[in-house]
Amino acid sequence: MPDRRRQRLPGVPRAGPDHAGLRVQRRGGRPRLGHRRGTGAGSQGRAGGRAGTRLRGAVPADPHLLGLRREKLLGAPLHGFLDRSGQTELSRWLAECRDGRCGVFETRLVRPDGAVRWVQVSAGPLPGEHGQPDGSLCMVTDVTDRIQARGLKRQLDHLRRLDSLGQLIGGIAHDFNNLLTVVAGSAEVIAGEAVPDSTEHRLATEIVDAAVRGRALAHQLLAFGRGGGRVVTVSVTDLLDDIKQLLSRTLGEHIQLNISADADVAAVRAERGPLEQALVNLAANARDAMPRGGVLTIQATNVDIEPGQLDDPATSGRFVRLVIADTGAGMDPETRARAFEPFFTTKPTAAGLGLATAASIVRGGGGYIQLDSEAR
């Protein structure tokens, strides 16, 4: 988990004037919530109790943290409010509390209404007789705003780096394209004057072919660095219908293409050309992952993203989600972590710009892109 720290302390910090408490006590192997009157207001709470007793403690003065009335919190398992990774992390830290250790970790808290909040959980031992741990104490703090601000800053920094990289790449690609124009033109003249099937003709033809491939790469670089186009309202359904034939040609006959969209899928504000390019790039990447054939599925739906629901906690609101799934070999964790990096590729003849360009287009338009893949 991010921002995780270990330390040996006699307890955890007490709630300040802007916080109330949320007590958690271990009974039967799992921590449960209890309540008593708390003071202050805010979104931090303490939870705790002695081993072998029923749960008791203070709940947050702000009822929105857990989304339940105080009387319903009594005896409720804290694990039930955490996602799977948070449950695992909490269990581990509570186990270490028996050794007198304290720890802090961040995780997602899921309320009964489905809303997601990011919380910081501090776990520590409750001292018993003779100074030995006799229970555990947890401090649960709502840090959603902080996590969102951190995510926005990270996203802004990323966009700034991409903008700088795009300007650099665009300038280099423009000059490179001009040089290749001269090379290709000269080679075409030589090929035209050379005797057919001669060594000179063959070498000049190879130069022309290489220049053509280089110009294609330069155009990809220019597309990656280009921005600031005209934003229009794009019907996602019409977009998918229009590019279906293009995608079929890109994939080839050995790959089956399935495209579907919900009847009420919303329109989006975007640059249509780059959006088409992003879809084609993703389809081409899927094609390369299925050299022996397979199935590519594209599905468009409306979706409401809650804060903290995505890996980027700053992304929330109403979106149109385009899911592009293939039946290829998948990626190992190392490849998956670098998949959107410019010039990163696992293919000997690829430029490593397909996924990077797609990600740049989507993120530059205010959207998000995620990759889920496992090596098969």
Tens digits of residue pLDDT in 189-224: 998 889 888 999 989 988 988 888 787 777 766 665
H-helix or E-strand containing 47? strand 44-50
For residue 137, give the 3-state DSSP assignment.
strand
Structure tokens at 117: 């909040």
Provide the CA 275 distance to its chain's centre, in angstroms: 19
Q: In the 8-state DSSP scheme, what is residue 35?
A: -
pLDDT of residue 301: 93
pLDDT of residue 351: 65
Please give the Cα distance from 365 to 359 (Å, whole number): 10
The 10s digit of each residue's pLDDT in 346-355 is 776 666 677 7
CA separation (Å) from 288 to 86, 284, 326, 349?
A: 37, 6, 10, 12
For residue 257, give the 3-state DSSP assignment.
strand
Low-confidence ranges of the chain (pLDDT < 50): 1-61
- The torsion angle over the Cα atoms of residues 304, 261, 249 and 225, rounded to 10 degrees, is -30
Please give the Cα distance from 340 to 342 (Å, whole number): 6
Please give the Cα distance from 8 to 10 (Å, whole number): 7
pTM: 0.46
Q: Cβ distance 34 to 77 under 8 Å?
A: no
Q: Burial, 259: exposed, middle or buried (Cβ in 10 Å; 0-12, 13-18, 19+)?
A: middle
- The torsion angle over the Cα atoms of residues 75, 78, 79 and 81, rounded to 10 degrees, is 110
